[in-house]
Structure 1
Amino acid sequence: MNTNPLLQKFTTVHQTPPFDKIKTEHYLPAFKESLVKARQDIAKIVDSKEKPSFENTVLALEYAGKQLDDVASIFFNINSAETNDEIQAIAREVSPMLTEYSNDIVLNETLFDRIKTVYDSREGLNLNAEQLKLLEDSYKGFERKGALLTGEDRERYRAITTELSKLTLHFGENVLAETNAFKLHITDPADLSGLPDAIKTAAAELARREEKEGWIFTLQFPSYVPFMKYADNRALRKQMYMAYASRASKGDEHDNKAIIAKIVNLRLEKAKLLGYQNHAEFVLEERMAKTPTKVNDFLNDLLNRSIEFARQDVADVAEFAKKDGLKDTLQRWDFSYYSEKLKTEKFDFTEEETKPYFPLDKVIDGVLGLANRLYGISFIENKDIPVYHNEVKAYEVLDENGSHLSVLYLDFFPRKGKQGGAWMTTYGDQYIKDGKNIRPLVSLVCNFSRPTQETPSLLTHNEVTTFLHEFGHGLHGMLANTTYKSHSGTSVYRDFVELPSQILENWGNEKEWLQMVGQHYKTGEVIPDELVDKILASANFQSGYLTVRQLSFGLNDMAWHTIMAPFEGSVSSFENAAMAKTELFPEVEGTSFSPAFSHIFAGGYAAGYYGYKWAEVLDADAFSLFKQNGIFDKATAASFRKNILSKGGTEHPMELYVAFRGQEPTLDALMERSGLVK
């Protein structure tokens, strides 16, 4: 009998992954066996002697390879949140196997012929809207994955996709290795000048864990960001900045520049094989924005509206720095430091002041409580649900009527085996089969400051909004209610997926909610009016600069993915040209942004990074309805749940948006909210 827990029926609460039983050595055999089973599922469809129908072809394909999907989602989520050398080695081995399996499906002519037969007769099949959408998506998906290619083109497509799966994995591994490799070890207390006590305590604890004297600072955000904001020692700020901004671009074994060239050239070649001029044109066909021209027009329109504000923001900081004694030109490693000082002078406020009022446990209660108030859902921690690390918490999520909605995992602290940043993912998506609504397993992964011996984990206001953002994605997953997994939750256009996350951030700038959440970790005192007023008054501080910074990332992404001929030459020269019109500082030799731009080279945001700003337009416009009706208005929330959160990808995003909002969005609400109106 096979004892591999990944290949057994999960008998845990809500059929969650049995993390307490899964060992690293189980993954590779599980992949191999579930790949065999998945291929059998496909063969059954291909070899069927029955006339192709929606049920025996399209629906059968939708359900094929479920065990493989489960194994892959568990494995690749662990590779992001709790990896090690062995897991990374398995990832390198199985990624090409999975790409080959995927290619064998979409390049199977008999299978495509069966789908095409159903597709061509769709008007006479009496399909409902979701069935028709699944059929259309299936047909289009095959087309977009090379089903119409023949001969050498078909084989070349296979080779390209296999190579890309390896390269994107390798890119991410290099960024993680580079982030982990650097440590600033300080032994002289004078070098800590300017740093808040909580940051020094965390650094001292890290040094203790590594059995060293003094203090250790790393490139993980909870360490790096406050160091750049508060450290008086300019030389050390520069050292930290140079380490961060040169990750994966130093010409060593972890250098990503050659990998970037290979990735963008292969993406271009693949797009051309499929009949597109470039990768962006291929990607954007399935996005709200539709074309590279429309995306570039959107980015440039926003840039034109915000660049003067951004230049003024930088000029204000440069002027302040000069008055404060900076004799040199303001450099990138100076900006956060003097910007924070200017903010303190202007608003009598620093981000660090907010931390005592946002202990993580209270913020968790506040964020879950917001979901309860808006949607009536409740969260009960269940310690019987196995977790993949002892710091992870698991909750059962119940709907207003008490029925089971979802499992939610929360994972908050940086670890050596965990990628930086914050994200939402799933270990299983919602769908309906045989009359049963299979509920999702949702996970939120963040990198917040750890508790110390003196204090619990304390969040800045900015980290509170990060939590809200990821929780918004989580609600999109938890409240999903579609027939098919392919349409469920966050399975929507990439430039729509950020709407549910970004709209939730708005509550983080509402006094009424902040005073429900903010309680001093020692005294229990509610966050004072005065401090909330300062948070809100400073919300648009440097918004011009921050807008242009985001636009620079979007323009960089679009430049890489609108090349029309294979890229040759210098990665840093290319990106400098792409980002030139957003540039607000002198160039720094030895640094490069793209080699650590994991969103587009190791994640799913290639030709899609603009989506963050695109979704800001949507979320500002959508939240204006909550502002109009009341930020806790249940009817508005119910409409948002019904028209956006539960619908997933069952309809075109603009149709869903208009059903909620009653109109298409404009830039006006975003510009007004950001204070970028003259």
Structure 2
Amino acid sequence: MSDNPLLSTWSTPFGLPPFADIRPADYVAAFDTAMAEARAEIDAIAGQADAPTFDNTIRALETSGEALTRVSRTFYNLTGAHTNPELQAIEREMAPKLARHGSETLLNPKLAARVFALWDQRAGLDLTPEQARVLERYQLMFTRAGAGLDAAAKTRMAEISQRLATLGTQFAQNVLKDESDYQLVLETEADRAGLPDFLLAAAAAAAKERGLDGKHVITLSRSSIEPFLQFSTNRALREEAFKAWSARGEAEGPTDNRGVIAETLALRAERARLLGYPSYAAYKLDDAMARTPDAVRALLTRVWGPAVERAREEAEKLAEVARAEGNNAAIAPWDWRHYAEKVRKRDHDLDETELKPYLRLDKIIEAAFDTATRLFGLRFEEKHGLPVYHPDVRVFEVSDARGNHVGLFLGDYFARPSKRSGAWMSAFRAQHKLDGEVRPIIVNVMNFSKGADDEPALLTFDDARTLFHEFGHGLHGLLSDVTYPMISGTSVARDFVELPSQLYEHWLSQPEVLSRFAVHYKTGEPMPKALLDKVLGARNFNQGFATVEYTACALIDLALHEMPDPSGLDVTAYEASALKDLGMPSEITMRHRLPHFAHAFAGEGYSSGYYSYMWSEVMDADAFSAFEETGNVFDPATAEKLYRHIYSAGGRQDPDAAYKAFRGRGPDINALLEKRGLKAA
């Protein structure tokens, strides 16, 4: 197999994958070989005659399966960011195989016995704090996988894991198919009515990419459809586009996700019961900061009431503007963004067309980098000619203040049909220090609209915030400084992982950042102070809407996963009933309707965990106050504590302890309510 580029030694700069040499067919052979190698290594660890020690069991597990890790990271980064039918077929084939491989490892009785023996002996093992934490994570991982169950239950656990892997892959591919197949072609002046130049330029670029030169196309990328819903004065087309966006994964046929959701929920509930939990939510949250569904519900319901009250006030303002224009129809979900833009213009003298020329993508990237330089001493140098998986991908070498190599940062910023929607951070290689210093290769993936020919990409303020958010995740991976891969970078509790990203968003809104980097893309002039003041003054505009559309998702995600027996669930009927019970305003829909709620159903990362953004927001609002209290949002001493206890620490300690080490106390929810401009309940 030495001719397989995935299995050969990579001589590429910085150890980047040799993307140009890899064919889709190489992945199947590489996965099979790498899994066989990993299985042999696992069996050797489990079957050794020597009594278990930290080194011969835990450390050995940490160094096993390196080829499989490398192949998997390369493959799954591409299936998210630049897929094709061949890769999707391989993804469907490999999902149950990889799940079976994982189950065979975690349900191996000899291996589990060694891990559990070390856990029982932990007090006398003289472990470092980091080693103790890694042992704790392994013990929990094996326990939660079912290693302590009887043989029949273990067999069923393995079957469930394989089926869930298949369903998660199917869910994600169905959503991507619906997104990439849809295009709203704007044929006439009436179709384009109200659209600003920046959106027409992006729509022309999208049309050209789809072979429709000279036309204009709106896609289901947020950076395309949300501005269309804001500015289009063609209500019928707004309705058509919104309904297509809202119905992803719901149309009858091969991409219908409703059956996938029902089966997924039933299997998750069964697995929780096998492990002795009353519900999947109870199982999932037992290994999170929140610990229990009741704790999550308490947070969400405390915010829900004030958010709905604010949203109803906002809806009345929208209706006022609509009536003044002669539209007496009730505000519909496809109207909200349109009239909200008009209210923002009326009440704050601010609109997106005024802002966009000052939010050039390149300058916002520069702002994110400069913030990291001021906080953590990092330097970023763009590298050209390195292997990348798509021509749009940019590569930056990251160095510390002394010039030492920290890692590589890849930025993949533009929407395309081969990329799933949303924005995320991932890693082609994670940091660790087991066998010398291994430096990370981190990627941020976005879905911004390209500018037209020779025009730069311009962002909305929400786009700019998304860039800062994902770069916060990126820094969490880049700055990681731990020994063991198990706790590297973002390998932390799901309701803690959003703290570094959401905290980083705060710096975007600082006047000293905007005044330097929000400069007009044509003139280079900085954003006028009057406009900057309006941006900052409107920061809580539309917060009722934003909080309601998010919190509804989090509450329903929790409720679904608390159901003891969700088999046979009618997903559409359940969603409608649950929203009615919540008192969801009719003018607003969930940010992610269930048939395309990838956080919950395209894998298990955020299943029963969508609340995590708000849980972390309690911390990020409170954490930024630590800087504000010093009078300097770049205070060096506070930044050093942030680096030491949060960004570089990975999962080295319990997240509660990590936050308290940084802040000196636990977080205060009032900081969140104040940040969102909501009255305390």
TM-score (structure 2 length as normaliser): 0.97
AA of the residue aligned to 2:472: G
CA distance in 1, matches of 2:513, 2:644: 23
Where does 1:102-117 land on structure 2 (aligned, <5 Å)? 102-117=102-117
- The residue that corresponds to 1:251 in the other structure is 252
Give matches, 1:667-678, under 5 Å. Answer: 667-677=669-679
**Equivalent residue for 1:573?**
573
**Do residues 538 (structure 1) and 535 (structure 2) align?**
no
Query: Structure 1's 669 and 387: CA in aligned 2 closer, same or farther, altered over 3 A?
Result: same
Compute the displacement of 1:302 (Å): 1.2
Alpha-carbon shift at residue 667 of structure 1 (Å): 1.1
Contact 1:10 1:18 in 2 (8 A): yes
Q: What's the counterpart of residue 662 of structure 1?
A: 664
> Displacement of 1:592 after TM fit?
8.8
Which residue type is aligned with residue 319 of structure 1?
A: E
Deviation at 1:155, TM superposition (A): 1.2
Structure 1: distance between partners of 2:384 and 2:499: 32
Deviation at 1:577, TM superposition (A): 2.8
Distance 2:93 2:500 in 1: 35
**What's the counterpart of residue 59 of structure 1?**
59
Q: Name structure 1 gaps, 5 residues minimum.
A: none
CA RMSD, Structure 1 to Structure 2 (Å): 1.6
2:628 — aligned with what?
Answer: 627
Aligned equivalent of 1:121:
121
- Residues in 1 aligned to 2:454 and 2:6: alpha-carbon distance in whole angstroms: 41
Letter in 1 for 2:42: I
Corresponding position of 1:133? 133
1:255 and 1:547 mapped to 2: Cα distance? 28
Tell me what 1:24 maps to.
24
CA contact (8 A) 2:414 2:448 kept: yes
User: Higher mean Cα deviation, 547-556 or 73-82?
Assistant: 547-556
Using the alignment, how far apart are the partners of 1:55 and 1:579 within structure 2? Answer: 52
- 1:201 & 1:592 partners in 2: Cα distance? 27
1:375-408 deviations in Å (ceiling 9; x for gaps): 1110111224311111101111101111111110
Cα distance in 2 between the residues matched to 1:547 and 1:561: 21
Partner SS, residue 241 of structure 1: helix
Q: Which amino acid aligns with 2:60?
A: A
Matches of 2:239 and 2:111, distance apart in 1 = 57
SS of 1:216's equivalent in the other structure is strand
Structure-1 residue corresponding to 2:89 = 89
Structure 2 counterpart of 1:60, which letter? A
Matched, 1:498 2:498: yes
1:416-469 per-residue CA deviation (whole Å, 9 max, x = no partner) reads 1101111000011111114x2211110000011212115211112221111000
Deviates more, 1:447-456 or 1:232-241: 447-456
Alignment of 1:232 onto 2:233: yes
Partner of 1:161: 161
Matching residue of 1:335: 336
Structure 1 counterpart SS, 2:212: coil
User: Counterparts of 1:180-329 in structure 2 under 5 Å?
Assistant: 180-209=180-209, 210-211=211-212, 214-329=215-330
- Residue 341 of structure 2 aligns with an amino acid whose one-letter code is E
* Cα distance in 1 for residues equivalent to 2:93 and 2:654: 37
SS of 2:455's partner is coil
For 1:670, the aligned partner's letter is: L
Aligned to 1:75: 75
Partner of 2:396: 395
Residue 206 (structure 1) shift: 2.9
- How far the C-alpha of 1:191 sits from its partner, in A, is 2.0
CA positional deviation for 1:20: 2.6
Report the more deviating stretch, 148-157 or 52-61.
148-157
Say whether the 8 Å CA contact 2:553–2:592 is kept in structure 1: no
- Give the equivalent residue in structure 1 for 2:175: 175
Q: Secondary structure at the match of 1:93?
A: helix
User: SS at 2:94's partner residue?
Assistant: helix
1:294 CA drift (Å):
0.9
How big is each residue's C-alpha offset from its partner over 1:122-158, in whole Å with a ceiling of 9 and x where there is no partner?
Answer: 1111111111111111111101001012232111111
Q: CA deviation at 1:340?
A: 0.7
Counterpart for residue 357 of structure 2: 356
Aligned residue identity for 2:123: E
Counterpart CA distance in 2 for 1:154 and 1:230 is: 55
Partner of 1:40: 40
**Aligned residue type for 1:90:** I
Describe the shift of the 1:594–1:202 C-alpha distance in structure 2 as closer, same or farther (beyond 3 A): same
Shift of 1:352: 2.6
Aligned twin of 1:444: 444
User: Which secondary structure state, in structure 2, belongs to the residue aligned with residue 498 of structure 1?
Assistant: helix
Percent of residue pairs bearing the same amino acid type: 39
* 8 Å contact from structure 1 (residues 549, 582) kept in 2: no
| C-alpha contact (below 8 Å) 1:496/1:615 kept by paired residues | yes
Alignment correspondent of 1:527: 527
Letter matched to residue 299 of structure 2: F
1:310 to 1:446, Cα distance in 2 relative to 1, 3 A = same
In the superposition, relative to structure 1, how do residues 587 and 55 fare at CA in structure 2: closer, same or farther (>3 Å)? closer
**Structure 2: gaps of 5 or more residues:** none
Give the aligned length. Answer: 676
| Aligned equivalents of 1:319, 1:104: Cα separation in 2 | 62
Cα distance in 1 between the residues matched to 2:504 and 2:455: 28
CA distance 1:475–1:587, change in 2 (3 Å): closer
- 1:609 is matched with which residue? 610
Q: Counterpart of 1:347?
A: 348
Question: 1:358–1:461: 8 Å Cα contact kept in structure 2?
Answer: yes
Give the secondary-structure state (helix, strand or coil) at the position aligned to 2:444: strand
**1:2 deviation in Å?**
1.4
Separation in 2, partners of 1:86, 1:255:
21
Contact 2:205/2:450, CA 8 A, preserved across alignment? no
Contact 1:552 1:582 survives alignment (8 Å):
no
Q: Does 1:640 find its partner at 2:642?
A: yes
CA distance in 1, matches of 2:501, 2:579: 27
Deviations 1:593-621, CA, capped at 9 Å, x for gaps: 10011111004110110011111110000
Q: Which amino acid aligns with 1:385?
A: L
- Cα 1:14–1:614 change in 2 (3 A) is same
CA contact (8 A) 2:198 2:451 kept: no
Mapped to 1, the partners of 2:593 and 2:468 lie a distance apart of 27
Q: Is contact 2:499–2:617 with CA below 8 Å preserved after alignment?
A: yes
Alpha-carbon shift at residue 582 of structure 1 (Å): 4.6
* Distance (Å, rounded) in 2 between the aligned partners of 1:294 and 1:594: 23
**How much has 1:245 moved relative to structure 2?**
0.8
Asked if the contact 1:41/1:64 (under 8 Å) is kept, the reply is: yes
Partner of 1:553: 553
Given that 1:58 and 1:135 are in contact with CA atoms closer than 8 Å, whether structure 2 keeps it comes out as yes
Separation (CA, whole Å) in 2 of partners of 1:252 and 1:21: 37
Please say if residues 548 and 582 of structure 1, whose CA atoms lie closer than 8 Å, have aligned partners that are also in contact: no
| Deviation for aligned residue 1:23 | 2.0
CA shift in 2, pair 1:112/1:596, >3 Å: same
Partner SS state of residue 448, structure 2: coil
Structure 2 contact 375–636 (Cα < 8 Å) conserved: yes
Post-superposition shift, 1:677?
2.8
- Matched with 2:416 is 415
Amino acid aligned to 1:119: W
1:275-317: CA deviation from partner (whole Å, max 9, x where unpaired): 1111111110111100011111111111123321121112221
Are the counterparts in 2 of residues 222 and 447 from structure 1 also a CA contact under 8 Å?
A: yes
Aligned amino acid, residue 637 of structure 1: A
C-alpha distance 350-276 of structure 1, shift in aligned 2 (>3 A): same
CA contact (8 A) 1:249 1:592 kept: no
Q: Partner letter of residue 615 of structure 1?
A: S
